[in-house]
Amino acid sequence: MRQANRILAIIFALGFMFLALLIVVELIFERSGAGPAIVNWHSIYDWMGSRTWDSRSVRVIGGLCVLGGLVLLALQLIPRKKPRLRVRGADDEIDAAIDRNSVVRTVQQAVGDIDGISRARVALHGNKVTVDARRRAEQSEGTTTETVAAATHRAVDALHLRRPPRISVKLDTAKER
């Protein structure tokens, strides 16, 4: 969601910068007596003066503005992922936490250290760690889903999280993909 907010902020900032530049250019041209430079504001003003609140075009434009505002509001009301996961400590008054990316890297390293694993992708979505590992075909007998799950549990338990995430493991051999 953070990426969507950044993209929307960039779009709105560029739009407002363009609008401000347009207004400055139009004011300069109007004050110099050259007339409109890019946009014929007089025809827009005349068009707006001839419309009433009951006009279909006014209602459509107003509805689009309301819809855009509601979409932006809904995007802001979507709950965000907590950037940190709280860690158990000796004292409850101390706020200790670990970054979500650190949890992913810790589990990825623990699974990657297992003999026979050629690649491990780890994702942390909400309160669930998902491990998608690939084992080498020539060493496929010794590496099982239980082995990967046990290594994942050990890595997560070593972090001493207050709410340990659920763990989901998928293990394939290199030939199966």
Which pLDDT tens digit goes with each residue over 42-54?
888 888 888 888 8
- 169, 136: one domain: yes
Q: What is the pTM of this model?
A: 0.58
* Residue 112, domain CATH: 3.30.300.30
Domain count, the chain: 2
Domain range for residue 11?
1-77
92 inside domain: no
- One domain for residues 44 and 12: yes
Query: Does 8 map to a domain?
Result: yes
Tell whether 72 and 3 lie within a shared domain: yes
pLDDT digits (tens, 9 = 90+) for 121-166: 999 988 899 999 888 766 656 778 888 889 999 999 998 888 888 9
Give the domain-ending residue among 77, 108, 140.
77
Residue ending a domain, among 45, 77, 109, is 77
62 has a pLDDT exceeding 60:
yes
Check whether residue 71 and residue 113 sit in a common domain: no
Taking the C-alpha atoms of residue 148 and residue 123, their distance in angstroms, rounded to an integer, is 15
Both 103 and 73 in one domain: the answer is no
Query: The tokens of 33 are what?
Result: 């007596």
Rounded CA gap, 84 and 157, in Å? 16
Query: Is there a single domain that holds both residue 120 and residue 50?
Result: no
Q: Residue 117's closest CA among 92, 96, 143, 97?
A: 143
Last residue of a domain, one of 77, 112, 141: 77
Q: Would residue 35 count as lying in a domain? A: yes
129 forms beta bridges with 124, 167
